Structure 1
Amino acid sequence: MNRLTTRLPRPRRGKKVALAATVLGLLVALTACGGLSADDGDDAAGTGAYTKLNTGGKESAADKEALDALPESVRDTYAGFWHATRVGPNPYADWEPGEAPYKFCYSSAYQGNSWRQEGLTVAKNIVAQLEKKGVAKGGLTVSDANNNASLQATQITSMVQKGCDVILVMQPPTVGVCKAFDTAQKAGTLVVVMQTGTDCTNVIQSDFGAYDAGKKSAEWLIDKVGDTKDTVVMCDGIPGVAAAEARQAGAADAFKKAGLKVDHITGEWTTSTIKSQMLSYLSTHQGNIAGVWDGGVCAVPVTQAFQQADRDLPPVTGFEGACSWLASWKQTGADSFGFAGGAGQGVNEAFRVSLRMLAGQKPKHNTLLYPLAQIDGSNVDQYYKSGMKLSSACNAQPVDGESVPASYYDDLFTGSGEPETFDAGLAELPVK
């Protein structure tokens, strides 16, 4: 059986549950025929298909064509996009929003850490504001899949049945939930995936440019170490995870271009593992180390490893703007470089995208990437707060509350509908 391509019309409020049940029946039949997988077309966006997810791979002709088709103002941010996501046409091109108020729902792959809790706190705050403005109704419906893809797919389908108009999905698995996204799309529910790459092409994706961020932090380190024969160490994340591989690819390309020698440790985004791996590396490499690149949560345990080994601390980058990193920066006095990359700003950007679409604007592509606000020696005092400690689990937020100005998205959307505004409240997030 061929993949179903006909979109169902946007249902009127009050009829969505019945329509969702009809759609679910269609999905059962289609699944039995092997349909409804993510679109696996390998042509560039301009031909009406999607690029392929190629984590850790080289740029293809289709990737280059898709990149060239993007507005010039955003191309740097989309560089290396194929490591983390796919780019193609807007899957909601024929979608029209119903009338306000809208029911907002939040599907999280996992809620078991402070980063995820921060994101949910911001989402609840935004929905509460939108309710007061008559844009939202019924609070925020939340689900936690506890890292179970099948459970998350079921929870998303249940949200469709319960009448959710917008489902914000925090870091779903790359694969395993595409059919649930199809259920939502065909029922007229807008799905926006946040803070992760996905192989699914039937959603809108909001994320930062991971390759570009990895490249920029590597370039800062290159400027610091200068022309050296010593080795730069890359502290990598979880192998095979698109977000980690994209950052690493950007950094590796920058180091290669600079002609620097590079070694790797694999910290798997776990501080105890990072410290152990760095100590092991130091014990077998007695020569000078030019610097260490952080692929995520590495800065503090790497610094502690150098201190424990009684070795001179080289320049060490940060990445996601951890409060613990800022506290370490202040304690050591060593210059660094990173980004304001907390979950709160990620949720903030996803809501901005959603509200543009609810106002009638149309994204030109399925994937909307933005740059992160940078933290360096010139502005660190704007991000550091006196309550930050090495044990703090928070992340720094953009000073002005948003990663990019609203005008950044103008080149990525068509239409002139005026989106509703809100205060994400990022500056008020507690430091713990």
Structure 2
Amino acid sequence: MLTLLAFLLAIGVLVTFHELGHFLVARWCGVKVLRFAVGFGSPLFSRYWRGTEWVICPVPLGGYVRMLDEREGPVDPSELDRAFNRQPVLKRMAIVAAGPLANLLLAVLIYWVVVAQGVTEIRPAVGMVVKESPAAMAGFQAGDRIASLDGAPVENWQAVRLALAERLGGAMAGPAMRFEVVTAAGAKATRTLDLARDGKRFAADLASGNIGISPVRLLPVIGAVDPEGAAARAGLKEGDRLLAVDGKPLSDWNDWVEIIRNSPGKPLTIRIERKGAPQDVLVRPAGVPGEFGYVGRIGAAPQSDEAWMRSISYTRQYDAGAAAIEALRKTGDTAWMSLRFLGRMLIGQASLDNLSGPLTIAAVAGQTARQGWTSYLEFMALISISIGVLNLLPIPVLDGGHLMYYTAELIKGKPLSERAQLMGQRIGFALLASLMAFALLNDISRLFGG
């Protein structure tokens, strides 16, 4: 229920803000707005106010503003000057662009509110390294603190993520990446990620900017137990410290995960420490389908090292002016990264598997809502930027497609032919429908393990 409500609230706010952009600029330009609708389908709510019908519909995945237009029906001669199609091309461009720009403005406002409260930053410290990952092959070790990437200093973990996403968005082979780090012992060292060697082997991970490092440090301690899983049936409890499996000592949570995954259906003797006393527990991991056959799973989650996280976290405070500048920067950086990612998908350097649809967005809405209002607001800002950037793309059907038509009209001195516009609309609709179908298939695959 929380996931559904969080999703509906986010989409409702973002769609309303988008359509308000069109509405306000249309009214400012003297265009009559006949209907302002949020959602699609038969109206659930309808009310006339100041010459406009305000409508809420049951399907919340979009909305529209219907303006007076001779192309959609007869217009009273006394109102011809208020028809959209009679406006100068620059006014029409302003009305169309206002929707996506409103989404970008909303992102700036949200980030401003979040940043003004103070931002918790995480120093660029490596909490753990995934075994047999690009980072492990580059020599990364837990405790490394990243000072720079390819010569560019990094101040926090967010800067590391952005730099990796920017550099690895296509997961293509290329020049090596050099990380200057300070080790846990205080020594300076260089970690070199060889993309020519690792690009193909780790293509899927690299495409999403994942090289196998995380600031989080997981303890070999049970943090949560699925009541329906093998761990619960074996008697494992929250707080149990994992010491060994079949007599083999465990050094960290990664060791534990690897053993469990490689032991579907196999009985394992687990030595644990509970309330200071060691004891043995017999666990038989369930076998679940994986990419290359069955993998083991017991339904237990780890406990994070809170002391470590406190040691690498700090709060940065901003005054109102600095917060506004930071909000503009975050919005610009995110929008630019979205454009670059879309460009890489277009030329085949980034996988279409990274596309997400409404199911994934709903799931993330629920997750961020559970984490608190700050995470939820940042999620809304990210989706608002995505909506703004997507709608500005020069694809017929989208706002950017109409802007493309109007730009051609400015250059030619007259509108494109109806045939050309209709052909573009058909192509744009087919392209958009294909992308939406692909995103929905990705959602289903992620949610149901396909």
TM-score (norm 1): 0.25
Q: Say which structure is richer in strand.
A: 2
Larger helix percent? 2
